[in-house]
Chain A
Amino acid sequence: ETGVTQSPTHLIKTRGQQVTLRCSSQSGHNTVSWYQQALGQGPQFIFQYYREEENGRGNFPPRFSGLQFPNYSSELNVNALELDDSALYLCASRERGGDYEQYFGPGTRLTVT
């Protein structure tokens, strides 16, 4: 069974640029969530995708957007990057329903300069 994978591992971007982060969910998991974890903080929920549609969103502006594909993999896109977007971005997948157990990927470390 393959776990959640994310790419790239690290990324450095300049303020104002756009970035795309990728996530492959664990086998059999059809729901994907994205989280932002600033240094020294707990993860903050960005949004969740199920059946290729966003079905929940946290307090993040519209320049944070996403996609889910038929194979349940997902992308997080961030436009007009700001310095405060520097963080670890975590993807998590789970089966719909059940015990709501979520399994996290290793994360992508984004640095905005």
Chain B
Amino acid sequence: GNSVTQMEGPVTLSEEAFLTINCTYTATGYPSLFWYVQYPGEGLQLLLKATKADDKGSNKGFEATYRKETTSFHLEKGSVQVSDSAVYFCALVSTSGTYKYIFGTGTRLKVLA
């Protein structure tokens, strides 16, 4: 079945450091891929998406490229801020069947001033 694997956290970085959060997936067909962010006590917010191979999603300085050959969708940001501290979830949705989302277990990011 479909699945998403994320690197375990927590990830602790100093402000302005480079961020990478790894995400790999297993899926049949051609899923769409997403990154969501969850701030403390809140629901999930869509951060970025990619719907086909080699697509690059980007938003608020975050980027991720849909790599079909490595089945990966790693999240990157060149310079993190304290306000980026949150939990980040990688997710896929199969484009056939019920279109349910499959989420990774989440990676907690803590950015220190």
B positions within 8 Å CB-CB of A: 4, 32, 34, 36, 42-46, 49, 51, 89, 91, 93, 95, 97-106
Contact = CB atoms under 8 A, between A and B. Distances in A.
Sort chain A's interface into a size bin.
20 to 34
A42 B105 contact: yes
Interface stretch (A13-21, A61-69, A73-81, A99-107): A99-107
Contacts of A48: 98-100
B51 A99 contact: yes
A102 B91 CA distance: 11
Given A41-B106, A57-B98, A102-B101, 14 more contacts: A33-B100, A41-B105, A42-B89, A43-B44, A44-B103, A45-B102, A92-B101, A99-B49, A100-B95, A101-B46, A101-B49, A102-B46, A104-B36, A107-B43
B100 A45 contact: yes
Contacts of B98: 48, 55-57
Given A101-B49, A104-B43, A56 B100 contact: yes
A4 B44 CA distance: 11
Ranked nearest first, the 4 interchain pairs of A and B with the lowest CB-CB distance are: A56-B98, A42-B103, A104-B44, A104-B43
B10 to A, nearest CB: 11
